Chain A
Amino acid sequence: MTHTFALRRLVDPSVRPFTILLCAIFTLAVADRGGGRFLSLATAFSVMQLFATLGPVALGLGLSMLIREFDLSVAGMLSLAGCVAVLTGAGNPWLGAFLGVGVGIAGGTLQGLVMTGLRIRSVGVTLGGLLTFEGITHVLTRSQTIVYPNMRIALVLNEPILGVLSMRSAFTVAVFLIAAVVMSLTRIGRDVVATGSDRRASRVAGVSTDSVVIGVFAVSGGLSALAGVLLSYSLAAASPIALSDVLVPASAAAIIGGVSLAGGRGRPLSIGAGVLILCLLRSGLNAVGASPYLHEIATGAVLLMVAVVDAPLLARRVRSWRRRLSSSQLRRDGATYLSPPASSG
């Protein structure tokens, strides 16, 4: 009995990401057969570099999913902020970073205001936001790749710290820690979770749900903008197309990280573990010499598994199959009168 309990704990949505993470590390280490290609500082460094790009976006998206919304605009914001930073930050990188993140926060706030003011679902608004932000990026860059002249910044941001981290990834890890503290220890965090669990009830209970929605979208915009600024600076370039392929891995990371699209469930550190799983699959499989398509298939398989395990009707369906199986067995034994009443599945 106790070991089934422990098993259940391990697949509990808030613990599951860490379980999958350990499994992924173990599998990759075994696949490496002691070649030292996977369990190396270089691999850990490249995993963390990927983490720095994907992490903030997944965190922002995850927070929006936590309040039962879905911020499709993160990818557009990533490229827009990157381009704004590169265009304005040539002289002073701080100014560029400030403006880039500012654009992200402003864009997120605007979308939040539209949603709460007009009471519309976020998917439509943020789809419009995604296309608009991408459009602005195309207009600003004339669809060209823009080179950032200040190469020194790229070097500083990517310089390894303690072998594993860089300025960029250390900063991202700090963002995750701050988010974890805010979400679990402050009233803001509690209000966000309450809004996601039952918006009407929390409004009645005195939570200003509208400010929560606006705030979450502002944070989500700001976080994706931050990822965009850091990425563009560290690549010393910005382009409207190259950066836009981030929505799918980011949402995959948030979902694998245990965020439920039904709202009210999800923790920053679990989202971080979800991002790490994806980054591990990508650079770990690369490091052990697997073909690139394997990480797509592995990501898809993990996602599908999470989707099926989380499906609300799974338990009922399995139960009704079992019942049908056992009843057909009884019938074969000639004991039809013993079969349970037909299930209503």
Chain B
Amino acid sequence: MSVKESPGIGLGTASAARPLPERVRMGQNARRKALTAVRIGALVALTVGALATPGFTSTLSVLSLLTAMSFIGCVAVGMSFITITGNIMSLCLGATLSASSLVFMASLGLGVLPAFLAAVAFGVAVTAAQGFAVGYLQANPIIVSIAGLALILGCSDYITGGQRIYPAGGGYQIFKEKVHGMPVEAIILFAAVAVGQVMLSLTRFGRNMYMVGSNPRAAEAAGIVRWRTVTGAYTLAGLFTSVAGILLAARYGSGDMELGTGYDYDAIAAVLVGGTAIHGGGGSVLRTLVGVAVIAAVKVILILHGFSQQMQYLITGLIVLGVVMLHTLGESR
């Protein structure tokens, strides 16, 4: 306990002006260990709780859990890239999801693959443009995402007149089938996580994202072109978000601007619960997957124990709050 840590970057001169609070003085190693212990404890408790819940391990419940996870999971994976590069969150991903579901359904007449590509191209174009504004001009990410949200809502309302879009062709059912008993949605989620994680930990682009997120100036000094990295991160976010839009459209058999409502908050909640720091520079897609799984599992356990839907909302909020507070244990400031 008496180990006095060197002041973190964020507290440079302030620590000289004012003694560090008692809690901060606790050795950082000890705090990291405590955090890991709490994390493992929570996961073990959750697993035990899940196994002890009658009906949780039934095939039906596991499959519905996986399907529910896959929609929010794809968006959360996309959101992770935005958070990791230091751009906090996008309030526009839910709207992007809905709009790509519209594009997918409207272009199904051309065939499934062209429709898929059109929807993905749309999602990528919309978020990449925001990423360019954020990266190239360093415009504020939250303002840009709100502007994007308003523009998408307005334009889609203009084009569709607020109506649902029904499939212009068939064949989209392949996205809700099962392969060897595994829902296609879940396979796509795991593929998205794998692609995202490989990008992050094995490519130069991934390393650049961490560097831009943890210290943009140092990254620029090291020769990283910041706007390319940020635009790339937003492009990935658009890619995975539009995939989620396609999956949701296929599941419900229509495209609708309501489909993505609330997905922004659910996605950032999953990112935070997974342990990715809100200020960027850390975290991973695998962590986000854990976050998605934890929130989804807690909801299922609550349902199976007969709690109301309302309690689920409350508990999710409390979990996010608790996890955010817990993470300060592992931080170096």
Which residue of chain A has the shortest Cβ distance to B18 in the bound complex? A203
Contact call B310/A143, Cβ cutoff below 8 A? yes
Within 8 Å by CB of A296, from B133, B154, B279, lies B154
Is there a chain A Cβ closer than 8 Å to B13's Cβ?
yes
Residues of chain B within 8 A (CB-CB) of A133 are 317
Which residue of chain A has the shortest Cβ distance to B155 in the bound complex? A297
User: A238 to chain B: closest CB distance in Å?
Assistant: 15
Residues of chain B within 8 A (CB-CB) of A119 are 24, 328, 333
Which residue of chain A has the shortest Cβ distance to B150 in the bound complex? A300
Contact call A311/B154, Cβ cutoff below 8 A? no
Contact call B265/A299, Cβ cutoff below 8 A? no
Is there a chain A Cβ closer than 8 Å to B314's Cβ?
yes
Contact call B137/A308, Cβ cutoff below 8 A? yes
User: B8 to chain A: closest CB distance in Å?
Assistant: 10
Is there a chain B Cβ closer than 8 Å to A151's Cβ?
no
Most buried by A among B143, B269, B278, B314: B143
Contact call A252/B146, Cβ cutoff below 8 A? yes
Most buried by A among B142, B268, B312: B142
Contact call A204/B324, Cβ cutoff below 8 A? no
Q: How far is the CA of A125 from the CA of B327 in the complex (A)?
A: 11
Is there a chain A Cβ closer than 8 Å to B139's Cβ?
yes
Is there a chain A Cβ closer than 8 Å to B309's Cβ?
yes
Q: A290-329, CB under 8 A of B: which get 1 and which 0?
A: 0111111111110110111011111001000000000000
Most buried by A among B272, B321, B323: B321
User: A194 to chain B: closest CB distance in Å?
Assistant: 14
Q: How many residues of B contact A (CB 8 A)?
A: 57
Is there a chain B Cβ closer than 8 Å to A146's Cβ?
no
User: B319 to chain A: closest CB distance in Å?
Assistant: 8
Residues of chain B within 8 A (CB-CB) of A261 are 140, 142-143
Interface size, A (range): 35 or more
Known contacts A123-B89, A124-B272; decide if A311 and B157 are in contact (CB<8 Å): no
Contact call A127/B265, Cβ cutoff below 8 A? yes
Residues of chain A within 8 A (CB-CB) of B153 are 293, 296, 300
Residues of chain A within 8 A (CB-CB) of B278 are 121, 123-124
Known contacts A138-B309, A311-B133; decide if A132 and B318 are in contact (CB<8 Å): yes
Which residue of chain B has the shortest Cβ distance to A306 in the bound complex? B143
Q: How far is the CA of A70 from the CA of B136 in the complex (A)?
A: 23
Contact call A118/B325, Cβ cutoff below 8 A? yes
Is there a chain A Cβ closer than 8 Å to B308's Cβ?
yes
User: A241 to chain B: closest CB distance in Å?
Assistant: 10
User: B109 to chain A: closest CB distance in Å?
Assistant: 25
Q: How far is the CA of A247 from the CA of B261 in the complex (A)?
A: 13
Most buried by B among A124, A133, A134, A317: A124
Q: How far is the CA of A313 from the CA of B220 in the complex (A)?
A: 14
Residues of chain A within 8 A (CB-CB) of B138 are 311-313
Is there a chain A Cβ closer than 8 Å to B151's Cβ?
yes
Contact call B265/A131, Cβ cutoff below 8 A? yes
Contact call A292/B157, Cβ cutoff below 8 A? yes
Q: How far is the CA of A303 from the CA of B146 in the complex (A)?
A: 8
Q: How far is the CA of A313 from the CA of B14 in the complex (A)?
A: 29
Q: How far is the CA of A232 from the CA of B195 in the complex (A)?
A: 47
Residues of chain A within 8 A (CB-CB) of B24 are 119
User: A40 to chain B: closest CB distance in Å?
Assistant: 25
Is there a chain A Cβ closer than 8 Å to B17's Cβ?
yes
Contact call B150/A297, Cβ cutoff below 8 A? yes
Known contacts A307-B147, A317-B137; decide if A138 and B314 are in contact (CB<8 Å): yes
Q: DSSP class of A's interface residues: helix, strand, loop or mixed?
A: helix
Residues of chain B within 8 A (CB-CB) of A292 are 157
Within 8 Å by CB of B151, from A120, A134, A138, A300, lies A300
Contact call B272/A294, Cβ cutoff below 8 A? no
Known contacts A121-B278, A203-B14, A204-B14; decide if A307 and B321 are in contact (CB<8 Å): no
Contact call B88/A123, Cβ cutoff below 8 A? yes
Contact call B157/A120, Cβ cutoff below 8 A? no
User: A128 to chain B: closest CB distance in Å?
Assistant: 3
Is there a chain B Cβ closer than 8 Å to A130's Cβ?
yes
Known contacts A143-B310, A261-B142, A292-B157; decide if A131 and B316 are in contact (CB<8 Å): yes
Q: How far is the CA of A69 from the CA of B316 in the complex (A)?
A: 23
Which residue of chain A has the shortest Cβ distance to B13 in the bound complex? A200
Is there a chain B Cβ closer than 8 Å to A270's Cβ?
no
Known contacts A128-B321, A128-B324, A303-B146; decide if A135 and B139 are in contact (CB<8 Å): no
Contact call A127/B268, Cβ cutoff below 8 A? yes
Chain A residues 81-118 with CB under 8 Å of chain B are 114, 118
Q: How far is the CA of A293 from the CA of B155 in the complex (A)?
A: 7
Q: How far is the CA of A336 from the CA of B327 in the complex (A)?
A: 57
User: B187 to chain A: closest CB distance in Å?
Assistant: 29
Contact call B151/A131, Cβ cutoff below 8 A? no
Q: How far is the CA of A296 from the CA of B92 in the complex (A)?
A: 14
Contact call B146/A129, Cβ cutoff below 8 A? no
Q: How far is the CA of A63 from the CA of B150 in the complex (A)?
A: 23
Is there a chain B Cβ closer than 8 Å to A251's Cβ?
yes
Q: How far is the CA of A293 from the CA of B157 in the complex (A)?
A: 6
Within 8 Å by CB of A304, from B23, B151, B328, lies B151
Contact call A307/B139, Cβ cutoff below 8 A? yes
Within 8 Å by CB of B144, from A118, A132, A298, A307, lies A307
Identify 23 residue pairs between A and B in the complex whose beta-carbon atoms are under 8 Å apart, listed by A's number. Answer: A118-B325, A119-B328, A120-B324, A121-B278, A127-B269, A127-B320, A128-B321, A128-B324, A131-B317, A135-B311, A135-B315, A200-B13, A203-B14, A203-B17, A248-B150, A252-B150, A261-B140, A262-B140, A292-B157, A300-B148, A303-B146, A304-B148, A313-B136
Closest 4 CB pairs of A and B: A135-B314, A128-B321, A296-B154, A131-B317
Contacts A131-B320, A295-B154, A296-B151 known; list 16 others, CB within 8 Å.
A118-B325, A121-B279, A129-B321, A132-B314, A132-B321, A135-B311, A138-B309, A200-B14, A204-B17, A251-B146, A252-B146, A297-B150, A298-B154, A301-B151, A307-B147, A312-B137
